[in-house]
Amino acid sequence: DAGVTQSPTHLIKTRGQQVTLRCSPKSGHDTVSWYQQALGQGPQFIFQYYEEEERQRGNFPDRFSGHQFPNYSSELNVNALLLGDSALYLCASSEANQPQHFGDGTRLSIL
């Protein structure tokens, strides 16, 4: 039983570019959440998707957007990349009222 899978594992971009990160939830999970983890910090909530709609959003600018597909997989898009967007991006999946399970993340580096 595969857990949460994320791709790619590492990515290098330059300022101003756009990036798309992908996440496949654990089998049976219908809710996907995205988090940003800066070095030495805890993960920070970006947004959550359920039934292909953004259900909740954290304090992130509109440059951060997402999508959930009918098979529950999800994408995180970041436009106009800034140096400060360099971080580990974590995807978590869950089913109703159950703990979130995390993937291993995508390490994004902005040059």
Partner 1 sequence: DQQVKQNSPSLSVQEGRISILNCDYTNSMFDYFLWYKKYPAEGPTFLISISSIKDKNEDGRFTVFLNKSAKHLSLHIVPSQPGDSAVYFCAAAGGNTGKLIFGQGTTLQVKP
Residue 25 CB, nearest distance to partner 1 (Å)? Answer: 13
Instruction: State which residue, 18 or 51, has the beta carbon closest to partner 1.
Output: 51
The three-state DSSP-derived secondary structure of the chain is CCCCEEECCEEEECCCCCEEEEEECCCCCCEEEEEEECCCCCCEEEEEEECCEEEEECCCCCCEEEEECCCCCEEEEECCCCHHHCEEEEEEEECCCCCCEECCCEEEEEC
Sole binder of partner 1 in the list 81, 87, 90, 108 (CB under 8 A): 90
| By the rule CB under 8 A, 105 interacts with partner 1 | yes
Residues in 23-62 at the binding interface with partner 1, rule: CB under 8 A = 31, 33, 35, 40-45, 48, 55-56, 58
Q: Site residues (CB under 8 A) for partner 1? A: 4, 31, 33, 35, 40-45, 48, 55-56, 58, 90, 92, 94, 97, 99-105
